[in-house]
Amino acid sequence: MLKIEDPQPQQSAASAGFALWNLGFRPFYLLASSFAALSILLWICQYTGHLPAMYVRTPSWHAHEMLYGYTLAVVAGFLLTAVRTWTGKPTPSGVPLMALAALWVAARVLIMTPFATAAAVVNAAFPVAVAIGIGIPIVQSRNQRNYFFIALLLLLGLAVLVFHLADLGMLPWPERASLQVGLDVVLFIMAVMGGRVIPMFTNNGVPGVKATRHPLVERIALGGVLVLLAADLLQATPGVIAVAALLVAVAHAARLYLWQPWRTFGAPIVWVLHVAYGWIVIYLVLRGFAALGFVGELLAVHALTVGAIGGMTIGMMTRTARGHTGRPLVADPFDVTCYVLVVVAAAIRVFGGMLLPGAYLVTVVASGICWSTAFALYAVRYWPVLSRPRLDGKPG
């Protein structure tokens, strides 16, 4: 039986107190996991007709909230934490961090109200505010390697604003296109960070493994995602999308192969990232097939959102929460349960919907329950970790 308690109960005197606002990962991981659990349960109830359209009005708004709500919260928490490490300079904490969290919460509330213009402004303002929060230390330290994160957050802000303007009838632009651009940006962020950390985590966490990176493969894999982004911005034809997606899938499959994922299964905190990256390959293949009309587009989308984004975020949320609170970088049975539930949620949502079209509703519900359970468990388990100071007494 899993007990919901601090993963390492032995605490120093320095660990007493409240530390939720010490560093960006703390409030945003807690907000993201709580929101991921609750929002999908509400969506399932609405989707199955057990609730009126009180949470989100259409599938586009469901996608909006999982992308610009949940995913962006995790990205914000990760970057606000990582940039402090990369630059050696402070990122928002205390009252400024509270203000960022309040802005995110306000955005989630406003989309359920009649105040559509306010919802548009606040939702667009959040990624811009995070860009400022990380941009100041990045620019001050001349950390040119990471300037592009500022641009990507600003692009996400523009994409969500365009989505809202299209919904208001103020801009002749498909809502789906804004969502796809947002997904492309998040895919690029995952591809960049995956390439930086997965081989390193693999070599450090699994003795004898030699995960490597090939310069040509790296350029094709990352450049290919940018090509897809450009194609979506230009509203390219399905044939162009199909060719681009399938070619990029080959590059990412080669990239993953070089990281030797088959040798990581003894280290769950490592294999979860490999499995998540594998879902990127599956997404790209399915997106190519969807453009050709062979599979449904939603199956491809959920390979990316549930499989890749869900797997990558739960993996990084457990790892960084442990690492930045002075705990061992080893997944316990509770963490592994979260990993497995997210992977199962993705498999049911994608392959269940593909192989059992007659039971599509059942697969949606089952996948959602697995997803919500995983993130509810994370929120409950990691509340004491995220709200208390580091065990080693260090700042952060």
Task: Look up residue 355 and give its amino acid.
Answer: L
Is there a domain that residue 2 lies in? no
**Tens digits of per-residue pLDDT, 251-265?**
999 999 999 999 999
* Alpha carbon 178 to chain centroid, angstroms: 17
The CATH number of the domain holding residue 57 is 1.20.210.10
Residue 232, in any domain of the structure: yes
Q: 4 or 75, which is more confident?
A: 75
Q: Is residue 42 part of a domain?
A: yes
More confident residue, 111 or 286: 286
In a domain, 5, yes or no: no
pLDDT, tens digit (0-9, with 9 covering 90-100), for 340-372? 999 999 999 999 988 888 899 999 999 999 999
Query: How many domains does the chain divide into?
Result: 1
Dump pLDDT digits (tens) for 157-197. 999 999 999 988 898 888 888 899 999 999 999 999 999 99
Q: What is the pLDDT of residue 387?
A: 96
pLDDT in tens, 27-57: 999 999 999 999 999 889 888 887 776 656 6
**pLDDT at 11 exceeding the cut of 80:** no
> Is residue 80 predicted with pLDDT exceeding 60?
yes
Full residue range of the structural domain in which residue 129 is found: 13-387
CA angle 358, 373, 333 (to 5 degrees): 120
**How is 334-382 classified by DSSP, letter by letter?**
HHHHHHHHHHHHHHIIIIIHHH-GGGHHHHHHHHHHHHHHHHHHHHHHH
Q: What is the pLDDT of residue 361?
A: 93
The two tokens of residue 196 are: 């930086």
> Quick check: is 304 in a domain?
yes
Q: Confirm whether 3 is domain-assigned.
A: no
Q: Is the residue at 6 inside a domain?
A: no
Among 10-24, 58-72, 228-242, name the one with the lowest average pLDDT: 10-24
Maximal CA-CA distance, the chain? 62
**How far is it, in rounded angstroms, from Cα 331 to Cα 44?**
30
- The pLDDT, as a whole number, for residue 173 is 86
Name which of 97-106, 120-129, 131-140, 348-357 the model is least confident about: 348-357
Query: In angstroms, rounded to a whole number, what is the distance separating the alpha carbons of residues 56 and 78?
Result: 27
- Does residue 97 belong to any structural domain of this protein? yes
Which range (119-133, 142-156, 163-177) has the least confidence? 163-177
- Taking the C-alpha atoms of residue 326 and residue 385, their distance in angstroms, rounded to an integer, is 10
